[in-house]
Structure 1
Amino acid sequence: MLLAVLFTNSEGNILVERFNGVPAEERLHWRSFLVKLGSENLKGVKNEELLVACHKSVYIVYTKLGDVSIYVVGKDEYDELSCRTKMKRVYDLVSEAIFVITSALKDVCGKPPTERLFLDKYGKICLCLDEIVWTGLLENIDKDRIKRLVRLKPPTDF
């Protein structure tokens, strides 16, 4: 399950956030934790270079694309016996999600986004994010399908 997807600018201000299954009282903790994590580790990182962290039994995969930092947090319930297998599966899910999100972001913006370009394309970015992640599940990973779905045309026009 994907618990959170956050986009921040280079100063750490949140541009878009989506939480799934995270209680409201814990969201502030996650916001501040992720921003601090990025401010410490994303300096000097190349575009789309993935960084991974593990915190409180969740995986966090984060990267930088232009002036925007992207964080994806994923979790799976597991017992001690199957811990390694399920955590590997969570890591794969979160990594795939961030790959699809960065790919869609590049398609929408046409290049690695500045903060201004990101905000200009805000509506379409949110539509893409809704098509990729739905209620914590990775819904669509096909780039062409996501493009068709965010065109907002009836399905018969494909």
Structure 2
Amino acid sequence: MLLAVLIANSEGNILVERFNGVPVEERSHWRSFLVKLGAENLIGVKNEELLVACHKSVYITYTVFGDVSVYVVGKDEYDELALAEVIFVITSALKDVCGKPPTERLFLDKYGKICLCLDEIVWKGLLDNTDKDRIKRLVRLKPPTEF
């Protein structure tokens, strides 16, 4: 299960978060842990270079993309390889929505569409859509033509 998808700015402020199956009382722990992890390790990392960590029997894959950091937390079948695919789909969707690696300003300007993309990619803790063209069609809120 995908436990969390977080996107933060370079100062560590959370811009978007999606938790699945994480109790409310543990969410602040995860927020602070992930931001601290990124602050310690993402300095000097190239765009889309993946880093992996393990904490409390879950896997964490994270990267920097433009001015934002993307964190994905998973357990069980979502090991570091599956999380790498999730991050790849998320960064591809961000590229499509923003047209380039996003600055914080551009990210916030496209916030609504980015949230729609995240909802299409991850649904109830599972990776739902990986096809870039299908995600684009679904975000336009038009019904898919093929089944």
TM range (shorter): over 0.9
Residue 140 of structure 1: aligned partner: 129
Secondary structure in 1 aligned to 2:79? Answer: helix
Distance 2:64 2:144 in 1: 34
**Aligned position for 2:111:** 122
Query: Matches of residues 23-62 of structure 1 in structure 2 within 5 Å?
Result: 23-62=23-62
**CA, structure 1 residues 144+121, in 2 after alignment: closer, same or farther (shift >3 Å)?**
same
Match of 1:17, SS state, is: strand
RMSD across aligned positions (CA): 1.3
1-structure distance, mates of 2:87, 2:143: 28
Deviations 1:54-79 (A, max 9, x none): 11111100000010000000001xxx
Runs of 4+ in 1 over 4 A off after TM superposition: none
Structure 2 residue matching 1:12: 3-state secondary structure: coil
Amino acid at match of 1:103: S
Give the letter aligned to residue 134 of structure 1: W
Partner of 2:142: 153
Q: Which stretch has the larger CA shift, 92-101 or 13-22?
A: 92-101
Indicate the percent of aligned positions where both proteins have the same amino acid: 85
Which residue of structure 2 lines up, in the alignment, with residue 15 of structure 1? 15
Deviation at 1:154, TM superposition (A): 3.6
Deviation at 1:90, TM superposition (A): 1.8
What is the CA–CA distance in structure 2 between the aligned matches of 1:109 and 1:123, rounded to whole Å?
12
- The structure whose Rg is larger is 1
The one-character-per-residue Cα deviations of 1:106-146 (angstroms, maximum 9, x if unpaired) are: 11000000000000000000000000000000000011110
Counterpart CA distance in 1 for 2:121 and 2:79 is 16
Residue 13 of structure 1, CA deviation? 0.2
Aligned partners of 2:74, 2:142: CA distance in 1, in Å?
A: 32
What is the correspondence of 1:84-99 to structure 2 with a 5 Å cutoff? Answer: 90-99=79-88
Q: Which amino acid in 2 is paired with 1:11?
A: E
TM-score, structure 1 as length reference: 0.89
Give the TM-score of the pair, scaled to structure 2. Answer: 0.96
The CA distance in 1 between the partners of 2:112 and 2:69, in whole Å, is: 18
